[in-house]
Structure 1
């Protein structure tokens, strides 16, 4: 399984992020986000800034580490679905861990995702996508 190297505040993190988790997290973020005119960001015309990629990778790594510290199965339905659920849940969308029929695990994963707060995408003056 391909893993991504990453750091937080310039220091390597102990937790590795599966490439498919990161790719699907980014895909869901772009799919569910729009620009100021309401155009979806997943059209392929825009690129993520380096800062956005780094922040998203760090968020994924920290979420995985947080869940592992709590001994939670953070990918009960696969890396791809969990990545989508992490993005959707942390941002308060109408779907996520809580509605997958996972019972107590779904509630705990929802609580874990919400500790990361929301992350909104926007297009900078340089036509790159950023997070805030």
Structure 2
């Protein structure tokens, strides 16, 4: 009985040691994964902050250009685009692109905020965006 009891105690001791080693390995893997994730998050935050800073500086530097483009759009709105000479289905790609950009420039008002797809699709040419 003593041999069986001592074997059982040795197995329990070995099992506890193996469990402790497995727990330590698991904790190390979790810490390594957390460190990698935090590093990725920090890198992503830095890239986003840089992009936002660049965009804000561009807006601040190009504010006059932006207001001029809004005025140009209002002039286009006053002039109705002439009907294309070539039927739409027979247009070449470059001609189609020019016609489409002129068509939408005369119908879409400049917005100061990004639109969701639903807002973009539901927007009417006379809509001021308040609705």
Q: Which of the two has higher C-alpha Rg?
A: 2
TM-score, with structure 1 as normaliser: 0.26
Q: Which has the higher contact order (CA 8 A, sep 6+)?
A: 1
Higher strand share: 1
Higher helix share: 2
